[in-house]
Structure 1
Amino acid sequence: MKCLVNMQRTVVTIVFFLFYGAWGQEIIILDEDDHQPIVNVMVYNSDRSKTALSDFDGKCDLTQFNLNERITFRHIGYQITKATKTHLVKKGVLYLSLNAEQLDGVVMSISKWEQQRKDIPQKIAVINAQNIAFTAPQTSADLLSNSGKVFVQKSQLGGGSPMIRGFATNRLLISVDGVRMNNAIFRSGNVQNIISLDPFTIRNTEVIFGPGSVIYGSDAIGGVMNFYTQNPQFSTKDSLLVLGSGNYRYSSANNENTFHVDFNLGKKKWAFFSSLTYNSFEDLRMGSHGPTSYLRDKLVVTRNGEDFVEQNKEPKVQHPTAYDQINLMQKLAYKPNNNWDINLGLFYSETSDYARYDRLIRPSKDGAGLRSAEWYYGPQKWFMGNLQFYQNGQGKFYDGLKITTAYQNFKESRNDRGFQDAIRYATQENVDALSANVDFENKRMGNFRLYYGSEYVYNKIGSQGSQLDLDNYSTIASASRYPDGSSWQTLAGYISGELKAKPNFTLSSGLRYSHVWIDAIFDNTFHPFPFKNADLSTGALTGSIGFSWFPKTDLQLTLNGSTGFRAPNIDDIGKIFDSEPGAVVVPNPDLEPEYAYNIEMGIQKNFSDRFTFKGAAFYTYLVDALVRRDYQFNGNSEIEYNGEISRVQAVQNAAMAYVYGFELGLEAYLTENLSLSSNFTITEGEEEEDDGSHSPGRHVAPTFGDVHLVWKNQKLKTDLFVNFNGEISNGDMAISERSKSYIYAQDANGNPYSPAWYTLNLRSQYQISQPLKIMLHLENMTDQRYRSYSSGIVAPGINLIMGAAYTF
């Protein structure tokens, strides 16, 4: 009997080892999110005496490893995982999680659907809610600037105009929860609408570098900035889920006081999220060490209806720059079942009046005084109602369906009065914007995913002008800024696809056709226009193709080619006599779209899980560029406007342009608590005229970057960092910028230029308890006086920022 038992044990052991030898030595390594095989995963033991590599099917042979040996699995895009062979062979499969710090995991910007960052050939910067909470930006413009990857220009405290890869203003597209924010009066001059977005409500920001016209249509030439706001949270139980938070922030440079509160109510099928933020900013104080020409040494004071130029008693205080702002957001979510989601988002933002500071420091013609007594924007108001339907996995030809409808209303105004002039000129604009998007996702075709959809956008523009005589307070009508009642609309369809040809090679491509219509009728009551109307009907075909390739486990290479376009809008075609220093801009109804052709290459290399290097090189060529050039109005090259003889200019398809550059990044994990990161951007570009002459591009930012040394544990996080900008000499400055000598320093020859600068800064955040967190920042510690390129306002001097956040 004992012999029989021993024989049975022997047979079982032999069968086990045969089975184990045939199958138990091999595991499959898969992506945790999409369960796709991961190729080139490096597998090794503690002293690296034994190594292996996963194949194209994610399979890895572990025969050489001992049963209780601890094995490490490493790939550039994933978190390092360690486990014993016994544990691994028992399961037969290992799932790796994406490393968010290296590849930012899942993004939505490229297709409007969730995609793995590692599969996308374009450069994307992701700024999540944790980063936003730590940097504590005053506005959403500062949110982008704090990333170190986007350059931001400011004409006044209430503003911020991003520049990406040599493009800005209406050549960049802003979207909020998938809805296009750009409207038909976004101008080629600096655009300040981004301050309407409340950084406290933003859960994620994705910035696409380079053309994004395949998905987003007109204006997405230099890049796309996608802002995704907080969503209501559902309850997982039968009881009501109640969440909320409160924030306070103070900054010394402009005596800022910011208050924010939000709360969430959630049931299993219904959820509500409400948010309120109020900002109060006083006049901004500049630094002590820098060009004296930046000082606000003179200002206009009005007494008893008469203007005087007086010395500013506090020349480092930039008066007037103060303003207030309020932001409201209400979201409602309904989930009737597992396949449907319905979301309603309501947004409202309003500022007080705020000064156009760069216009108020313009010197008079004789240089002794100031040109303007008043120049301010009226309240900037923005409302959006956004209703979105999402269906998952029920369609015959799709796995996901999104229907997004939105209504937006924009209100803005301009008010200006010359020094000792009794007339205050004003224009008021109102834009109603309707949009509808239908987007599909199909992922049923093996390794191929298909995305397709359509879009319709309609803008109606209201514009009025008036003149107020301050002597008798009588108001008369005057020319509007735009043709009142004009419209801009576009209809488009797109298709894009992603093919995972191999586990380590993904190919992406897409096409879009857009058609744009403009209808504008000009009022000849105030000006004898040589035309009556502007009717535009034009189309544009854009495309993209690129790949993401992991030739090794620690190396990623990307290549992408794409085209972009911008159709003329009402600001280009119909702007009626907009005054610039020494010039007046008039309408031009004979415009065509401008096109951009772009190629970019990227590389990401991981060195022993200690250092990660990221690099990208790009080149963009713009044809039929819409630029402001000298023009004639009724045969005249100069006319009188608002009492001043000015040369006539208009937007024209008068140039070609090219921009190229490099974007570099480094992340180093020095210890478990200490890390180093850096960003560095170099951009060069020129505009080429029809006669073959060249001039520097207006929106080509100087070399800029940052270096951060971060230490953190479970409760404390500190960031000691340097921000820096390179110099733009007079010879490298755009011609239009050289005429704004009053915002620039003077070089040794007395010519305007933009000096290099740097700031030393410290941020810290401490978690006192689970619900309570405080922050203490000290920015521009050496009190530098500097002005970012093309900015009208001087940046803050030494700035103490304090804040607290409480969640429940």
Structure 2
Amino acid sequence: MKKIITVVAFMATMAGFSQTDTSTTNQLGEVKLQSQRYIKSKKNSTQQIQTISQKDIEFGNYQNTADILSNSGKLAVQKSQQGGGSPVIRGLESNRILLLVDGIRMNNLIFRGGHLQNVITVDENMIESTDILFGSSSTPYGSDALGGAINLITKRPFLLSENNNRPFSGSLNTRYSSANQEKSGHVDFRFSGNKWATLTSISYNDFGDLKMGSKKNGNNDFFGERPNYVETVNGIDNIVKNDNSLVQKFSGYKQYNAMQKILFKPNAITEHSLNLQFSTTTDIPRYDRLTDLKSNGDLNTATWNYGPQKRILAGYKFTKQKAFLNSDLSIGANYQNVEESRITRNYKAPNQVSRIEKVNVFSVNADLKTKLGKGELLYGLEAYYDDLSSTATRINVLTNVPSAASTRYSDGKNFTLRTDAFATYFAKINEKTSYNFGARAGYASLKSEFVDKTFFPFPFSDINQKNITYSASAGIANNSTDNVKVAFNIATGFRTPNIDDLSKVFESAKGVSLIVPNPNLKPEKNVTGDLNITLFDNKTIEFDNTIFYTRLFDVIVTDNFNLNGQNNTIYDGLLTKITANQNLGKANIFGYSTALKINLTKLLKFYGNFNFTYGRVEANDKNPKRPLDHIPPFYGKTGFNFENKWINLDLNMLYNGKKYLEDYSNSGEDNLVYAPANGMPAWETYNFKAAVKPYKDLMLFTGVENILDIQYRTFASGINASGRNIYLGLKYQL
């Protein structure tokens, strides 16, 4: 651990440059950003970007970062277990969207195409704001950002001049929730000096088993109850009746988070910063697999846990104004250490298998910004190196005798290397019209070695890939009148295959399909066009509409595959169909989103948003036209908000449309096996939230989520959502 901390202290993180607009603020408003590679100004941005503010995050009092995203109504989020949350942007998910924390890539060489829970490793209490970039974002951020990017921006230290001349400050948060007996606590404190500042943050979350809703959802079937579960005593499995079938037994877990930031600003133009983050959990049961049944109706699985999900991030960043060729300069490097594991054992099986993945990520970058003509040029270089160690053990739970087991990924050397150069230019044609264009080019290589092929005699011993990568973007925004803004943006994106795509051996559904390596994959690419029209009337109404179309090329889809001339194999004692990731031609995604805000009075506001997505893989010689995976049904949020100096009240409705069975992908990624017989029903929940400020340093939070206690499940999820949840919270400003 000491070695890790030593490395952490000297490794670095990248955060790019702000793009700020210095023109007069119009009615849409201006937002100045720190350390981002995109413009968030509503006046000049051509890309659709939505922000969840610190005020909204704190008022929502959500249990984790995934819940912040799902409750915004701006994104769909999938869950296979309570300790999960896989966001979807414009019908693309997991390794097709980019997760960032403080501008640093979280995506690594084992980010899979299925569903990910990495977003919950960023403490919701540490987040200052969240930016959601919709559409291809490879030009600013490189590989993976086909559907967009989510930038989780954490809180920062304040110098004395920024902190009302207070040398010490901080806050204390606590929260309790009834649906899962959540008990959470958080403390942060700041030291502020003239040149030095620090921020320390520590959080603890204890989530019990989640209770689902008890009321039938309209005329839909009631599903997802947990009538019994497997209990193991002294290595012996027994099926036990659940005292309350609404309680989703073995869905609870605990999480621990910490963050330390240090800022040193020796003068007005130079800044040094250190960013240290740590997150870990207890074992997180994968709830959907614990509910799988055998053909005779017995439970199939005794143990299916994600082991402690550990994340360490460390980074140093140096910034200086006018440091090089009259450009502002930011130099950074960062180190991330991620550990994931899967612990599985079938019901009454003697052997438990643990598969452990340890990932190291190193990166360096240089970002520069300068005035050029009538605009600003942002340009830079970056490089990433990821490596992976994949191991596995099998232990007899009765005798404690170990034996060999197959690894999830290749058991030899695994690494990826990416180097890129990028540039983006932002400028104005006149006071009403602005534009931008950018480009990125790079090189990516990958190596994966298979040392022990005892379990799977692949006809190859290693996989080597080398790819030239590139992307470009261009956009124009016109504020033709004081009440209308029209923007158009077109961007290309790319995603180079990673170790998960190329060398994974994974059972997507028990006895149904087994994914095996395919060394012949090519990068995925896409082109996305957006048209945005915003109508507004002074500060009373804002009506924002975006239509987009995405064309995917060489799209990677899991499909039937032959290995050594066979299309089936025996895996864990069951005859299982062989599948593999393959480039299966082209796909199309079309969608529309709208958001409406109306200030009914000075204190009362109405808001609402709606999102629709449609995606299909085109027909080819091998397959007919069919649904693309990860496409959610329509969804959104609408509500009323009342706020004055002392109180904030919010009454809202979250909703999803129905997902019909014929619209599910046959790849397995949509988790059709966990959908009801008639498809995933439409649902809506009614929710009330309140925050009261009895005096300036104390805030009390309370609310009721899913007031009607409706039973429902979000699309592609393997666990039912929370039933009626009453929560209480407190924040004390130190």
TM-score, normalised to structure 1, is: 0.85
Q: Quick one: which of 759, 773, 777 aligns to 2:685?
A: 759
Higher relative contact order (CA 8 A, sep 6+): 2
Do the aligned partners of residues 495 and 353 (structure 1) sit closer, same or farther apart at CA in structure 2, a change above 3 Å counting?
A: same
How far has the Cα of 1:348 moved from its partner?
0.3
Aligned to 1:452: 379
Aligned to 1:477: 404
Aligned to 2:150: 225
Determine if contact 1:289/1:783 at 8 Å carries over to the other structure.
yes
How far has the Cα of 1:471 moved from its partner?
2.5
1:308-366: CA deviations, max 9, x gaps? Answer: 33332210000100100000000000001111110001000000001000111111133
- Cα distance between partner residues in 1 of 2:591 and 2:85: 23
Return the letter of the residue paired with 2:350.
A
Determine if contact 1:218/1:565 at 8 Å carries over to the other structure.
yes
Aligned to 1:77: 28
Aligned to 2:6: none
Aligned to 2:307: 378
Do the aligned partners of residues 117 and 738 (structure 1) sit closer, same or farther apart at CA in structure 2, a change above 3 Å counting?
A: closer
How far has the Cα of 1:386 moved from its partner?
1.1
Do the aligned partners of residues 163 and 375 (structure 1) sit closer, same or farther apart at CA in structure 2, a change above 3 Å counting?
A: same
Return the letter of the residue paired with 1:76.
Q
How far has the Cα of 1:580 moved from its partner?
2.9
- Compare 764-773 and 234-243 and name the one that shifted more: 234-243
Return the letter of the residue paired with 2:518.
N
- Cα distance between partner residues in 2 of 1:354 and 1:804: 27
Determine if contact 1:362/1:742 at 8 Å carries over to the other structure.
no
Aligned to 2:14: none
How far has the Cα of 1:110 moved from its partner?
6.4
Aligned to 1:467: 394
Q: Quick one: which of 505, 510, 528 aligns to 1:576?
A: 505
Aligned to 1:555: 484
Count of residue correspondences: 706
Please say if 1:187 is aligned against 2:117: no
How far has the Cα of 1:737 moved from its partner?
5.1
How far has the Cα of 1:161 moved from its partner?
0.1
- Equivalent runs, 1:684-695 vs 2, <5 Å: 684-691=614-621, 693-695=624-626
- Cα distance between partner residues in 1 of 2:650 and 2:249: 32
- Equivalent runs, 1:601-612 vs 2, <5 Å: 601-612=531-542
Aligned to 1:393: 322
Aligned to 1:514: 442
Aligned to 2:202: 276
Return the letter of the residue paired with 2:690.
S
Aligned to 1:64: none
Aligned to 1:83: none
1:632-672: CA deviations, max 9, x gaps? Answer: 11111101111111011111112321111100000000011
Determine if contact 1:106/1:117 at 8 Å carries over to the other structure.
no
- Cα distance between partner residues in 1 of 2:265 and 2:334: 20
Q: Quick one: which of 23, 26, 35 aligns to 1:36?
A: 23
- Cα distance between partner residues in 1 of 2:43 and 2:229: 54
Aligned to 1:19: none
How far has the Cα of 1:307 moved from its partner?
2.4
Aligned to 1:50: none
Please say if 1:593 is aligned against 2:523: yes
- Cα distance between partner residues in 2 of 1:559 and 1:577: 41
- Compare 233-242 and 404-413 and name the one that shifted more: 233-242
- Cα distance between partner residues in 1 of 2:232 and 2:713: 28
How far has the Cα of 1:446 moved from its partner?
4.0
- Cα distance between partner residues in 2 of 1:592 and 1:76: 46
Aligned to 1:413: 341
Return the letter of the residue paired with 1:430.
K
Determine if contact 2:559/2:667 at 8 Å carries over to the other structure.
no
Q: Quick one: which of 618, 629, 648 aligns to 2:578?
A: 648
Q: Quick one: which of 591, 613, 631 aligns to 2:561?
A: 631
Determine if contact 2:594/2:610 at 8 Å carries over to the other structure.
yes
- Equivalent runs, 1:24-103 vs 2, <5 Å: 34-36=21-23, 75-78=26-29, 98=30
- Cα distance between partner residues in 1 of 2:440 and 2:525: 14
Aligned to 1:781: 707
Please say if 1:261 is aligned against 2:248: no
- Cα distance between partner residues in 1 of 2:160 and 2:32: 24
Do the aligned partners of residues 540 and 742 (structure 1) sit closer, same or farther apart at CA in structure 2, a change above 3 Å counting?
A: closer
- Cα distance between partner residues in 1 of 2:706 and 2:505: 42
How far has the Cα of 1:394 moved from its partner?
3.5
How far has the Cα of 1:449 moved from its partner?
0.9
Please say if 1:724 is aligned against 2:724: no
How far has the Cα of 1:730 moved from its partner?
1.4
Return the letter of the residue paired with 2:189.
F
Please say if 1:306 is aligned against 2:306: no
User: Which of 1 and 2 has greater Rg?
Assistant: 1
Structure 1 unmatched runs, 5+ = 1-32, 39-74, 79-97, 99-104, 748-752
Do the aligned partners of residues 803 and 239 (structure 1) sit closer, same or farther apart at CA in structure 2, a change above 3 Å counting?
A: closer
1:64-105: CA deviations, max 9, x gaps? Answer: xxxxxxxxxxx4324xxxxxxxxxxxxxxxxxxx4xxxxxx2
- Cα distance between partner residues in 1 of 2:166 and 2:542: 44
- Cα distance between partner residues in 2 of 1:741 and 1:617: 29
Determine if contact 1:627/1:655 at 8 Å carries over to the other structure.
no
Please say if 1:437 is aligned against 2:365: yes
- Cα distance between partner residues in 1 of 2:133 and 2:389: 32
Return the letter of the residue paired with 2:642.
W
Aligned to 2:275: 345
Determine if contact 2:72/2:637 at 8 Å carries over to the other structure.
no
How far has the Cα of 1:168 moved from its partner?
0.2
Do the aligned partners of residues 689 and 429 (structure 1) sit closer, same or farther apart at CA in structure 2, a change above 3 Å counting?
A: farther
Return the letter of the residue paired with 1:458.
Y
Q: CA RMSD of the aligned region, Å?
A: 1.7
How far has the Cα of 1:238 moved from its partner?
12
Return the letter of the residue paired with 1:202.
I
Aligned to 2:332: 404
TM-score, normalised to structure 2, is: 0.94
Do the aligned partners of residues 341 and 409 (structure 1) sit closer, same or farther apart at CA in structure 2, a change above 3 Å counting?
A: same
Structure 2 unmatched runs, 5+ = 1-19
Return the letter of the residue paired with 1:735.
N
2:404 aligned counterpart, secondary structure: strand
